[in-house]
Chains A and B, each alone.
Chain A
Amino acid sequence: MSTTTSTLPPEFQDNMESIRIMGFWIFLTTDLVLFGSLFAVYVVFRSLVGLGPTPHQLFVIGPVLTETLILLTSSFTCSLSLYSARINRVPGAIAWLIVTLGLGMSFVLLEIHEFASDVLNGHTWHQSAFLSAFFTLVGTHGGHVSVGVGWAIMLAIQIGLKGLTLTTRRKLYAFALYWHFLDIVWIFIFTVVYLSGIA
């Protein structure tokens, strides 16, 4: 084995694990196409407000900004977890993972709160095509984050039980990919849905 390959993190040196990482990348591509389709639907539907509110009337920037900051921070803590794993520090990896999932959870809670207040104001997705598209696009992202939280919980337990094996390292790496991916999707939601809606 040449010296250049040995500087790679362990999960890349193992052939099977690196194949799994590639599989995960390709899965993310399909998820990207999924979100792409939902974005296309949203962009077409955002002017179809029927008798319901327009984006401008509906959105409040404050909580959304908080959500954004939380998610961006969680991406950072997620990287810290991966970094700790790379320097072989199990407690650090777990701790930062827990911070990440905590932030993810608070993001989800804020989003639920936002949705709930919209619905309590009478703006269900039944009201217009725009609202349907809005709740679905943003909700699909939120659903992904919730899945990520569940995944992070199981991953933290697994790292606790098994330590940093090749497999748990690879899982942590895949989780980090997933989490950053959701962050990027959120940036698009933030600009395409919220900012351009409020403007």
Chain B
Amino acid sequence: MPIQRWTLHLLRLLFPPQVLLPDIVAIDIGLTVAVIVIGVYLTRTRRWGWLWHEWITTVDHKKIGIMYLIAALIMLFRGGVDALMIRSQLIAPNAHFMGAQQYDEVFTTHGTVMIFFMAMPMVFALFNATVPLMIGARDVAFPRLNAISFWLFAFGAILLNMSFSIGGSPSAGWMSYPPYSELLYNPGVGENYFLLSLQVAGIGTIATGINFLVTILRMRAPGMSLSKIPVFVWSALITSSLVLFAFPPLTVALGLTMLDRVFGASFFTIAHQGMPMMYVNLFWIFGHPEVYILVMPAFGVFSEVVPTFSRKPLFGYEAMVGSLLAISFLGYGTWVHHFFEMGAGPSVNVFFGLSTMLIAIPTGVKMFNWIFTMWGGRIRLTVPMLWQLAFIPTFVVGGATGIMLAAVPGDYQYHNSYFLIAHFHNVILGGTVFGMLSGMYYWWPKMFGWKLNQRQGTWAFALFVSGFWLTFMPQYFLGFEGMTRRMATYPAGLGWTTLNLWSTVGAFVMGAGFLVMVYNILWSRRYRDWDVTGDPWDGRTLEWSLPSPAPEYNFARIPMVQSRDEWWAMKQEGRTDEVKISATTVHPIHMPRNSAMPIMLAFAFFVGAIGLIFAWFWMAILGGLGVIAALAYGSFADYSEVEIDAKHVLQTEAQLGRVES
């Protein structure tokens, strides 16, 4: 009975024992029910067409930004649940609510999801939502490519999240070092999921980098020289260029591991003279710039939030931009600090130790500039500003412990201990996540047209930040006490018990903070507090000169920029009428047409990736052909623009009260 044998084989491949654990099956059932409910709801309310026309095929940067944001929040939830599972296991000595294999899978997915599928899309959400508005553009340079980036990210995220119910999760950590990630030690498809999902999402990330670089360099409104763009836009510019140089080495590192695993090459195996250290180098040549890719946009957000809520121009614009550039440049020369212990020798280690410490200087400059901006300002303690204020001490502690790690002999003690864990959570949570949440609260009215309730937002903030400190401060001491990272459980009597308990309590407080934030969003959506002015915070930059949310063409009239905080200057000089149009000045506007090609292309990548993950080569080839077909379709048939005629523009603007009488 070959058919029967074949089916049995397939079932074993798709559902190995590790995905048949009761909790995973329960989650599977829950997810299936959720999908069915959503499907029924969409059918009942006849929303499929709306979903397709308004969202799935959209090329509008504002909508793509919203989709990134929603995806990032869902991924924050998923990664957060993983984190709570990890912390629950560690709440007490000898706890075994997960086995070692499952524990490994959970911390691997936690790290991967948080870095690649939460933090990155959160950053891109804010880029998409604001950058074109801040530079006076109607869209990004390549709108359709922008949609392609989003869908590649989305299918990458789906791939990684699929792994835990179909085929098994990866378990080699978010860095996925060989030889452990090699077939010999890590059979099954889990690791392949890791490799391919990041590969698919990574292509999209590179495309985003290209897109925003070109957008900022070429699509600025007349008069807006590079010395006048908001610092957030500078951070987007520099982040994009970092992406361009950081992601290709990751592509290579992941690609070579895949060749080893799926096609029997010998790059990082121990046999046949493979060299695992090569992977580690490639990974961190990507990885260190990546941490700056994550944190620079947060620096950018704060450089907008602080001036707005202090009613003062940013202190030291040039120094802010210069320090961003310096950090991005230095960030390429530090990667070896992640493996001082690998035996490169004292001179190499000293070089990389010093180059790492140097980064603290431009970072310190930024800290002081934010503080000087607040100095003597009229500070308003809104939710975005609260996140900023919490960021300062948190990031200072993270940076200081980074310097401790960069001191080579010290690092021999702390490396891969909980001290390291505490360090990078201090900078990534305290930097990137605080920054992105600050930006989310700040630009939410611009993205959605209504504001988030401030009181609930303050509660969410207070819970999250106090939970944060409670979680991670004990971990520094756990590191000193010798607790290494990635321990599935630990014995009693080592002095770790109390510290771990506090850390777990803190994690749940943070979780509560997240729930309050979700409540905050849902409540504010239910009882909408519309932003009718378009300028709820008394802002300074051009996005606040537009209605909330901005119409599909953003600017009915492209502004002529004269100064740095252009909208503020307009308000001061009584030039706010400059944003209005009249029947004589209105022009028809050309906008790119929606396209189904991005999701088709990304789906073809998805199919191809599944083919490679399971080594079903016919399917990989099918996916490849699909990619070619989608590209050909895009090139031959798909490209066109729509014209929004002047009358329609006039009507829309008139409804918004933006037509000169």
Contacts and interface: CB of A to CB of B under 8 A. Distances in A.
Interface of A: 19-20, 22-23, 26-27, 29-31, 33-34, 36-38, 41, 44-45, 48-52, 124-133, 135-136, 150, 154, 158, 167, 171
A26 B237 CA distance: 13
Contacts of A50: 266, 271-273
Contacts of B142: 20, 23
Given A20-B142, A136-B259, A128 B266 contact: yes
Contacts of A45: 267, 275, 278
B259 A132 contact: yes
Interface in B259-289: 259-260, 263-267, 271-275, 278, 282, 285
Contact of B265 (A34, A48, A125, A150): A125
Nearest to B635: A154
B244 interface: yes
A50 B217 CA distance: 49
A122 B210 CA distance: 42
B635 A132 contact: no
A80 B285 CA distance: 40
Interface residues of B, number: 39
Given A22-B214, A23-B214, A129 B141 contact: no
Contacts of A129: 266-267, 272-275
A17 to B, nearest CB: 12
A106 B183 CA distance: 36
Q: Which 8 A-B pairs have the closest CB atoms?
A: A33-B248, A48-B273, A34-B248, A132-B265, A50-B273, A37-B252, A50-B272, A37-B249
Interface string B47-76: 000000000000000000000000000000
Interface in B205-232: 206, 209-211, 213-214, 217-219
A30 B266 contact: no
A51 to B, nearest CB: 8
Interface of B is mostly: helix
Nearest to B253: A37
A37 B248 contact: yes
Contacts of B251: 34
Contacts of A48: 273-275
Contacts of A27: 210
B245 interface: yes
Given A23-B141, A23-B214, A41-B252, A128 B273 contact: yes
A30 B206 contact: yes
B560 interface: no
Contact of A30 (B210, B214, B632, B639): B210
Contacts of A19: 141, 214, 218-219
Contacts of B628: 150
Nearest to B251: A34
Given A33-B249, A36-B248, A158-B635, 4 more contacts: A19-B214, A23-B142, A33-B244, A127-B266
B296 to A, nearest CB: 18
B266 A34 contact: no
B330 interface: no
Contact of A44 (B141, B211, B264, B275): B275
